[in-house]
Amino acid sequence: MALNSFSFTVSLILFSFMIVIASASDYAYGSKPKVLYKPMFDMKEKQLPIGVEGLILCKSGPKTIPIEGAVARITCLAVDEHGYETAPFSILSKATDSKAYYFATLFPNELGNNLKLTECKAFLEKSPLETCKVATDVNEGISGAPLSYRGLLDNKKMKLYSVPPFIYTLQPKPSSNDY
């Protein structure tokens, strides 16, 4: 009986030492974090500028019309060289043209500190039209639309991404309470 108790105690102590040694094998106070991301581009390649394009429209009844002067926001997440996420950062697109087209450019080499982009999304930011400024979540304009890779631009000097068209609607009319 005493031998069983002694064997159990020794086994427990050895197991505890193994756990301590295994957990202290990397990163002084804990294990190395698992990197659960897929960078938007390979860091071994030259970091090319990223272009984001899309449309911002106004839906008025059955008609959809272009909004000139609307702006989209591109918000990105990045990780540092140890795999830790940084705070999100955003850029604004140029105002849309008369055909509702916008374009935004992000320069990854200006991020500094060996940051790697992991995810970027586009959002509705503002509409210049007083009559059409209610943002909708059509194509994730409010919740954030993930970027879709389209290809290389300008003789491989920029990576192009796009998002589906975003939609604003007319101001909601106040309901009349005629009782």
Q: What pLDDT is recorded for position 41? A: 53
The domain locations on the chain are 1-32, 50-169
Q: What pLDDT is recorded for position 26? A: 43
Whole-model pTM: value is 0.71
Q: What pLDDT is recorded for position 17? A: 44
- Name the DSSP class of 85: B
Q: What pLDDT is recorded for position 27? A: 44
The two three-digit tokens of residue 48, written as one number: 């090319």
- Report how far residue 28's alpha carbon sits from residue 157's, in angstroms, rounded to the nearest whole number: 41
Q: What is the band of 81 on the pLDDT scale with cuts at 50, 70, 90?
A: confident
Cα four-point dihedral sign 94, 95, 97, 99: positive
| Closest to 166 measured CA to CA, from 144, 178, 154 | 144
Residue whose token pair is 């659960």: 36
| Closest to 43 measured CA to CA, from 78, 75, 90 | 78
Using DSSP bridges, classify how beta strands 134-135 and 116-126 pair: parallel, antiparallel or unpaired.
Answer: unpaired
Cα four-point dihedral sign 36, 42, 47, 48: negative
Q: What are the pLDDT digits (tens) for 29-78?
A: 455 444 444 555 555 566 789 999 999 999 999 999 999 999 999 999 98
* Residue range 50-169, CATH number: 2.60.40
CA–CA–CA angle 24, 25, 30 (5° rounding): 45
Q: What are the pLDDT digits (tens) for 125-177?
A: 999 999 999 999 999 999 999 999 999 987 778 999 999 999 999 966 555 55
**Mean pLDDT value across residues 92-106:** 97
**Mean pLDDT value across residues 83-87:** 87
Q: What pLDDT is recorded for position 100? A: 98
